[in-house]
């Protein structure tokens, strides 16, 4: 695990975009694992700028999203299908055939069908050659994807019940109305995430400081799902000074070249 501390959210996002762009330039048919939420927004904006101004080509890139809410249609403004389309996909030259986002339109009462669908999603990742670089945010409780505290560290893609803490984290996207947030989501599992060749986790703000300290310096445990990244040989954690404010060790200033 490499920890990189930047001044603020903008610098975190630009450094993350540099890492992603380096991979795409060197391997045009890269497979990217994508995240949603507020954390990667500026990263995606910088990738859009690089595409439009610097010619960064996504035409051969394949993408797999981490997760999706259950029972939100793709057209819903808070669905992750909608988020990705509005904040990245429609602004760059990704081939729609190479875009993969879990379907939220599954019957939560048909567990066998959900399990088959989750197995299918994992099979698509395997057919694509696996994830080259997985982008992650982190919840205030240390969750990655929708792998809440207590999730198995070897878990695979599956349906998860969202905790109150995660709902509170996401309430701003639903105008603060917790009753509008879906109860369930489909998410890549921790074991699935750990199979990515590189992992890039971003965090900013003092509200993430405790989670970052537990992730980087605490014990590896299911209570803090992101702590498993300590066991990944090629995990990069890029945080701003606020998110790093509880760390007790001095960390690196520069990220390595990926290839």
> Catalytic site residues?
67, 141, 143, 148
Answer whether 21's CB lies under 8 Å from 53's CB. no
Q: Nearest CA to 162 among 173, 152, 148?
A: 148
Cα separation of 43 and 239, whole Å?
A: 13
**Strands (DSSP E) found in 59-210:** 62-65, 67-69, 99-100, 133-136, 158-161, 184-187, 198-203
Angle at the Cα of 90 (from 205 to 132), degrees rounded to 5?
65
How far apart, in Å, are the Cα atoms of 239 and each of 202, 208, 220?
6, 9, 19
Q: Which two tokens stand for residue 203?
A: 């965090």
Cα separation of 158 and 7, whole Å?
A: 36
Q: Residues near 41 by Cβ (< 8 Å), separated by ≥ 6?
A: 13, 87
Cα separation of 253 and 163, whole Å?
A: 35
The sign of the torsion formed by the CA atoms of 204, 190, 134, 104 equals negative
């Amino acid at each position: 695990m490499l920890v990189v501390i930047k001044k603020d959210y903008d610098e975190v996002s630009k450094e993350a975009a540099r890492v992603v762009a380096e991979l795409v330039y060197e391997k045009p048919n890269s497979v990217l694992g994508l995240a949603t939420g507020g954390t990667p927004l500026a990263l995606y904006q910088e990738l859009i700028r690089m595409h439009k101004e610097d010619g960064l080509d996504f035409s051969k890139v394949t993408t797999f999203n981490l997760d999706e809410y259950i029972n939100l249609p793709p057209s819903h403004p808070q669905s992750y299908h909608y988020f990705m389309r509005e904040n990245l996909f429609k602004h760059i030259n990704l081939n729609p055939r190479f875009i993969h986002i879990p379907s939220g339109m599954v019957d939560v009462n048909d567990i066998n069908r959900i399990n088959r669908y989750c197995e299918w999603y994992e099979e698509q990742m395997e057919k694509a050659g696996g994830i080259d670089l997985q982008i992650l945010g982190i919840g205030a409780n240390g969750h990655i994807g929708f792998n809440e505290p207590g999730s198995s560290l070897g878990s695979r893609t599956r349906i998860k019940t969202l905790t109150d803490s995660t709902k509170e984290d996401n309430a701003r996207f639903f105008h603060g109305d917790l009753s509008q947030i879906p109860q369930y989501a489909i998410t890549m599992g921790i074991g699935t995430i750990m199979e990515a060749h590189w992992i890039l986790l971003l965090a900013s703000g003092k509200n993430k400081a405790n989670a970052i300290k537990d992730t980087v310096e605490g014990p590896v445990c299911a209570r803090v799902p992101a702590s498993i990244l300590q066991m990944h040989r090629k995990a990069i954690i890029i945080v701003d000074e606020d998110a790093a404010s509880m760390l007790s060790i001095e960390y690196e200033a520069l990220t390595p070249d990926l290839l």
